[in-house]
Amino acid sequence: MPDETAPAPVAPPAVGDAAPDATLVATPGNEPLTLSEVWADGPVVLYFYPKDATPGCTTEACDFRDRDAALAEARATVLGVSPDPPASHEKFIAKQELPFRLLSDEDKAVATAYGVWVEKSMYGRKYMGVQRATFLIAEGGTIAAAWPKVKVKGHADAVLAALADLPSA
């Protein structure tokens, strides 16, 4: 039986939908970043992950880091989103030498808007958390591809393949 305190699930945006816009604190710099300003200049790889410095999240971030040149060639901006505060993001970026910004969604509003703030279960205990997911947002703000339940292995390559399929601007 679902937790009575769990909010009603929000469906993630589908391919062809307008991407939800938001302004979040971006690290490094701890300055506000508005998603629509970023996707106005080219495609955006917006990936949601549960927590800085955990094994799966570190692997995923490093896979995107290791493909930085190919992502840049595709004109893509990579943005990671988690509920962690900017100070946690600063440490994670420094330790893993991440070349992209991480966004703090401490109130989970953006994760909710993208349908990735969900009820999870571990060892029979139910709790709310971020479902690992990625959205490829085409220049202009339309969802071009979506991976609602990411398995880390091979994911960054799948994103690169989807980027290659986007029409040139």
Let me know: does 138 contact 144? Beta carbons within 8 Å. yes
57 catalytic, yes or no? yes
Q: Which one from 38, 45, 57, 146 is the annotated catalytic residue?
A: 57
Catalytic residue set: 57
